[in-house]
Chains A and B, each alone.
Chain A
Amino acid sequence: MGKIVVTEFISLDGVVEAPGGEDFKYPGWSFEFDRGAEGEQFKVDEAMEAEALLLGRRTYEGFASAWPEYDGDLADKYNGMPKYVVSRTLARPEWNNTQVLRGDLTEEVNRLRSEVCGDISVAGSIRLVQGLLERDLVDELHLMTFPVLLGTGRRLFVDTSDRSVWSLAEATTVGDGVLITVLQRKR
């Protein structure tokens, strides 16, 4: 049984827009903080443990234009593992091992969960994650909270039709006051 693992860089005020660049008032804001060797290792372990990636179209396109240019274990992992993109418009995905999901989100994700054995990692992909949270399809959340208030930008959590209860599986402080939390959905 696959597990949907959402992983995000998030500001103290809940903003997840453009932590690593792109067009935004504060592009790359997460890079201003050292996340220490432990923080780097957390991201590497998380990627190496993933069985597949589930991405929104914009995040997919960003990854697809970057990862094929790199070499090394991490790049091999990203370039090799199965990628699933949620998009109604993407016609010909060019990144190796990609499938486009066009159907109902709940059905597609439940099918993935039954077919993939292990972590299905969702990074960035703000709109997709909001859809997954609304449908209660997220099994685990990895948040790297940076000690900064941005005051503007897209937030991860928006209003949802129900509440949810999670358990805190891990909480560590790394580098410049960066808080890593792992939360598991209690069902």
Chain B
Amino acid sequence: MTVLTVPPRRRSRRGGATDWRRPTGLNRAGSILLILVYGFPLYWLIITSLKSDGDILRHPAALISSISFDAYHGVLGSDLFIAMGNSFIIAAGTTVLTGALAVLAAHALSRVRGPAPSLLLGVLILLQMVPPAAAVIPLYRILGGWHLLNSLTGVVLADTAGLLPFAIMLLRPFFLAIPQEIEEAAAVDGAGYLRTFRSIVLPMVHNGLTTVATLVFMIAWGDFLYSITFLNSPTKYPLTALLAQQLSQTAISFNRLMAISVLGALPIVVLFLFTARRLTEGLALGTSK
């Protein structure tokens, strides 16, 4: 029996010299603090939406209250359903269009040689950074020229152009990770570019594509600036614009406002619950390369 090798774990328990990845009391305290800072506002959102019309007036800041569906009864109506439908059209349209364009472009970018890819990457980074509040001014004139103002198609096009750089950049590392030899082998076996792409490459980036599509859907669902600027009839408004419209009214009841917020966030939260892990990892990967 030898006792020459001290197990590293035991050593790390002695104060100073330590593996800094091991949990400490500070970590637990920090986690609790983060749960409060991020969880409490969400709790507040939900509990407020569940307060009765009377309670919200008498005790707007009560931490607990009896549960009432007054607010939901008040907001669930044709306006809300139309707005949800519009949000869905914008989000789904943008996701399909952006996803299709980005997956082709990201693959090409990972395969083309020469100076073109790095040049294009630079342009993509620049375009990704354009403040939407700046892009919206010329877009208004351009979409007007194409008779696409006050149309959901116009919003989808503007969102697609805005999110495409982000989507391509996030997808690229997933394509880079595919060994080129695999594609070359397919080509030697007689598969054309398209065939190789469809049968070999696409299945391999399935994870990345799901991540990017999910994020694009979530961002497009939250689109506000383009909708509020390009659309002028309230029947075209998505949920975000409806919410802002309600918020700007003088006599707002907050339980209803929060009920609309909850309903607006619900599809995103559901989508998130299914993709949380993949999304978190995809984000870290996409940013780091």
Q: Do A and B bind each other?
A: no
Binding site for A on B (CB under 8 A): none
Binding site for B on A (CB under 8 A): none
